[in-house]
Amino acid sequence: MRLDKFLCDMGEGTRSQVKQKIRKGCVTVDGQAARKPELSVTSENRICVDGRSVSYVKLEYYMLNKPAGVLSATRDPDQPTVLSLIRDKRRKDLFPAGRLDKDTEGLLLITNDGVLAHSLLSPKKHVDKRYYAKVAGVVTEEHVRLFAGGLDLGDEKPALPAVLEIQKAGKVSHVFVTLREGRYHQVKRMFQAVGCEVLYLKRLSMGSLCLDESLKPGEYRSLTPEEIENLKDNSQNQENHKC
Ligand code: URA
């Protein structure tokens, strides 16, 4: 790979910024100042910028506890995005694997692994997504039955059967919802379809990946190698886990 691309991929600046750094002699390869942006390097080379070692990372995986008020987007001119919360990211091609509404909290996978993201999100894979919600009004066994039957949301096809579990029924009900797909505003629209309003929504899991409850809203951590492996298996085998 070209030296300028290596540095650019690792977030050392835009292509023209890193070219400038290279030409100024700020970049060394195996201890020698490298003056040519097109110099071919591999991960075996020891590359430093201003004396600081820069290693190559191909794929990154972060679990974010998305706070309310932040957009599930890579960039936005006016509003904070989930990507702006990942402060020590190395790659600049990270994106959120799936979207949560601005006011929804909880598990969001941030990665640059397009293959994994695609297989987790593909409607054909039916990877479970589990949510916790507070809903205005009394949620009943009739609602459980309606969710299990596949609600008509006014889309081309009815929703796939979903599992609704009632934790507490009351003026404000506390529930868990498990979906096997990810349509726009799906949880809110499903409750709307049965005459209820979602007051609070948090995603707890996606396939085998469970939100680490020690992460406060806005906090994140890297996935463990085991979590990554399980997610990859998960996206192939359609195995799901309850967190
Ligand atoms: N369903 C919703 O309505 N909103 C989300 O953010 C996720 C699922």
Does ligand 1 come within 6 angstroms of the Cβ of 135? no
Q: What is the pTM of this model?
A: 0.88
Q: What pLDDT digit, counting tens, does each position of 146-187 carry?
A: 999 999 999 999 999 999 999 999 999 999 999 999 999 999
Does ligand 1 come within 6 angstroms of the Cβ of 201? yes
Average pLDDT value for residue range 61-67 = 98
| pLDDT at site 236 | 62
Does ligand 1 come within 6 angstroms of the Cβ of 130? no
Average pLDDT value for residue range 216-236 = 92
CA of 60 to the centre of ligand 1 (A): 25
Contact 56, 9 (CB under 8 A): yes
Active site residues: 101
